[in-house]
Amino acid sequence: MDDARALILYSLDTEFQAFQAVLRECPEKMFGQRPSWGHSVAWHALHIMDWTRCIIQPGLLGINPALTYGYLGFEQEIWAKAVTGPTLAQEQDGKQPILAAVEDVFEQALKDIRHAPAERFSSQAMFAAIKKPRPVLESLLYHVTHTAYHRGQVILSRRLETTINSPQYGKSTL
């Protein structure tokens, strides 16, 4: 296995595991509940799931025009409207179906990385992303940090919810 592929595989696998662990730790009651300061944990899970589908498979194996997304985070933008449609799970589906969909997408993404042609990991490799042509390596490495960012958002949401609704502070009025 070449160095770039090995680095990306290791980095995404590690981050996917960490992200899933944080999602599993979230109480069922809070998972789909939208806080007053941002998105629900379910939304963050679906957002990373959709971006994983949007970046990895097209970047490594080619665009599948049948793929649609629901949680890219830019749904009002023209480029996002063009690919908005049914996705693998919905925010209201509940914790277990969402976790199962996320796990399936992550497993497929890692398989795609293992089996992609070697030339997809060259510094010159590009792909036709939704909005514009993008370098494959840059996109894959950015996806690692994007996933980590949303893992942090989930942790922050859980901590804020726990703190704001603790007996010491009373019920949230945000």
* Residue ranges per structural domain of the chain: 3-164
Tokens at residue 126, please?
Answer: 């590009």
What does the alpha-carbon distance between residue 88 and residue 66 come to, in Å, rounded to a whole number? 13
Q: Where do the DSSP E strands lie in 57-167? A: 126-128, 133-135
This prediction's pTM: 0.89
Would you state the pLDDT for residue 174?
A: 47
- Over residues 25-60, the pLDDT tens digits come to 999 989 998 887 789 999 999 999 999 999 988 888
For the chain, list residues with pLDDT below 70.
Answer: 1, 162-174
Burial class (CB in 10 A: 0-12, 13-18, 19+), 83: middle
Third-level CATH fold of 3-164: Four Helix Bundle (Hemerythrin (Met), subunit A) (1.20.120)
